[in-house]
Chain A
Amino acid sequence: MTAMMQGGAVAALEMQGLRKSFGRTEIIRGIDLSIAKGERHAVIGPNGAGKSTLFNLITARFAPTAGRVALHGQDLAGMSPFQINRLGLSRSFQITNIFPKMTVFENVRCSLLWSMGYRYSFWHMVGNSRALTEGAEAILEQINLTARRDLPAGVLSYAEQRALEIGITIAGGADVIMLDEPTAGMSHSETDYIVDLIGKVTQDKTLVMVEHDMGVVFGLADRISVLVYGEIIATGRPDEVRGNPKVQEAYLGAALEAEH
């Protein structure tokens, strides 16, 4: 049975037989995964397991070698990243991916434009839209960057750029949010703050995230998938995954030990 019909609703994200090879090496080796609407799903796994590659396949940064991805039941084959974004999926990047020469405010405002319906307009002045300015300022407030508003994004500290990365991702109000290691490189207090923020802004939304911090994963996720060598070896609720002997053997034991 596919998860297509889980609870009578279409899955937010559905992957079937997804594969990706770079040259002769197969990095993603057949993934079937269904993520329900409103679910918070964490993808964990050792370095080089293919977590970011999986994100890249879903968001059309890479074309899959085989298999398909559906968003709210719609096949994403052949679509460009911008088309997928317009369908309501937004993602962040593990390696910070912002507009370095534009101001922090501009970064956020640009991420609001499409979702607010401005499209390719050359007859609106962005400075005239109260909704746009206030929307961008609200996001800045949320990610604690109001004081950095008019600085070029490229001069921010690493942790601030990570916060901006998340701000850009959530700004457009997409209903499926994918975050690739959102807290990597942040201090404890910054991590707590961001996790809290992620929890808040993804209320009633679907969240897919890659995360190494087990505290974050077990605190936030409804379900967890463990990716090892391009294959999902287990999917389930946090307690199920934690108790799964295969997972403990392959990955989690070592990671949990490292936590202590």
Chain B
Amino acid sequence: MTDQTQNAPRFGGMNTAAVAPWVIAAAFLLVMPFIFTSNSAITIMNQMSITIIFALSYNMLLGQGGMLSFGHAVYMGVGGFFCVHIMNMVEDGGLPLPLPLLPLFGGLFGLGLATIVGAFSTRKAGTVFAMISLGVGELIAACSVIVVAFFGGEEGVSGDRTYGLPVFGVEFLQQIEVYYLIAFWLMLSALLMYLFSRTPVGRMANAVRDNPERAEFLGYSARWVRFYSFCAAGFFAGIAGGLFAINYEILTEENLNLTQSGAILLITFLGGIGFFFGPILGAIVFTLLQTVLSLQTELWQLYLGALFVATVMYFPGGLAGLLMMHAPALRSGRAGRLVLPYIKTLGPALIGVLALAGLIEMTFHLRHASLGDHHMTLFWVDLDSHSLVPWLVFAAIMAAGFAVMRRNLPELLSAWHSANATGDRS
């Protein structure tokens, strides 16, 4: 599933090694609702799946095509808005469209918009493309408060998925039914996006990303190659929009504004743009942070921002790049040497980071809690944010954690070198 292993299946399509991840993923999606049965867990998983499709579609631009877009939410949003309107037409009895097909129409509307915008925005990559994407994003977000009939103004538009024709008796009243509908579209979209990257135009997207000039001397117009990727990305973003409409039954301006476009860039980059599965990781981690962490702290966006900055600065390959860094050691069977050094550095580092987060939380409490409210709970401990003791304790833990990490870091580095050393391979 990576850029590097694309040559594994030589003839006759996908071999077992290429099919295995898909089968595992499908099985995983099937059993997840049996492991996490609560309604809120299913809600989180639905959101995750939609975000995965959206992030994968974004990476068709950024990772595979080298196009940095600041306005990709527009295609998901517009696809979603259209789907809510279609849902309402179904409800009004005019349209006999089964609900499971709705995302396809979201995709087609995303594709339609991408065809129009791509016609002028893909002429150049780089800054020009980025600026146009930003402008178009701003323009359509502005339209959403102007064209109230379509976008519903500030309240957005809402619909009801349950009024459609029942499909084999399923009326999509329950979250779990929606879950499987989304899971189906997730598998289908991810597979199609993966296969797209294996087609001539998908391969040339990488070539154009690397060196557009050389691609032109091989017979390909860099612009047309970008255009095709752009349209495909718009299509799959539209599918994500359609699923969003089904899942939430409402779309607002927030679904297509620049914040949303920024978020998908962040998610994709966090997961890693160099590997197909990178955006999937990014979407999973982001959704967990957004849903689980946001219940714990109001400051979750601060931590997310810090994580993003750290990724850009220290791990430009993202989570996927970080994982794939270990592939050589795993292949040579020497990854085991890394386990203990990792525990000895990352353990204390994690404790240090948590203690730092504790200090930040206390600062926030000190500044923002109502007057006289000195009581707060941090890591299941009740404490008084106005007394000196917890501050000293957290500061000491943080200092100790980072100090131990620093002391053990050389050991990790030498273990890394020994695990990745070539030459002495027997």
Contacts and interface: CB of A to CB of B under 8 A. Distances in A.
Interface of A: 59, 61, 80-82, 85-86, 90-91, 93, 97-103, 105-106, 109-111, 113-115, 118-128, 130, 133, 149-150, 168, 172
Contacts of A106: 6-7, 203, 206-207
Contacts of A82: 215-221
Nearest to A96: B214
B199 A85 contact: no
Interface stretch (B10-18, B88-96, B181-189): B10-18
Of A103, A110, A149, the most chain B CB neighbours within 10 A belong to A110
A119 B225 CA distance: 10
Contact of B11 (A85, A122, A128): A128
B348 interface: no
Contacts of A123: 199
Interface in B194-249: 195-196, 198-204, 206-207, 209-211, 213-221, 224-225, 228, 232
B199 A124 contact: yes
A252 B216 CA distance: 35
B217 A85 contact: yes
A128 B13 contact: yes
A81 B203 contact: no
Q: Is the interface of A mostly helix, strand, loop or mixed?
A: loop
23 contacts: A80-B221, A82-B215, A90-B218, A97-B214, A100-B210, A103-B4, A106-B203, A106-B206, A106-B207, A110-B203, A110-B218, A114-B219, A120-B228, A121-B199, A121-B201, A123-B199, A125-B13, A125-B195, A126-B198, A126-B200, A127-B7, A128-B13, A172-B218
Contacts of B206: 99, 101-102, 106
A81 B216 contact: yes
Contacts of A100: 210-211
A126 B203 contact: yes
A29 B406 CA distance: 65
Nearest to B10: A133
B12 A128 contact: yes
Contacts of B209: 101
A127 B219 contact: no
Interface of B: 4, 6-7, 9-14, 195-196, 198-204, 206-207, 209-211, 213-221, 224-225, 228, 232
B203 A114 contact: no
Given A80-B221, A102-B210, A110 B204 contact: yes
Contact of A59 (B6, B207, B217, B221): B217
Given A85-B218, A172-B219, 17 more contacts: A93-B214, A98-B214, A106-B7, A106-B207, A110-B204, A113-B218, A113-B219, A114-B218, A118-B200, A120-B224, A125-B195, A125-B198, A126-B200, A126-B203, A127-B6, A127-B14, A150-B4
B207 A102 contact: yes
A127 B218 CA distance: 20
Nearest to B224: A120
Contacts of B217: 59, 81-82, 85, 90-91, 97
B13 A127 contact: yes
A136 to B, nearest CB: 10
Nearest to A171: B218
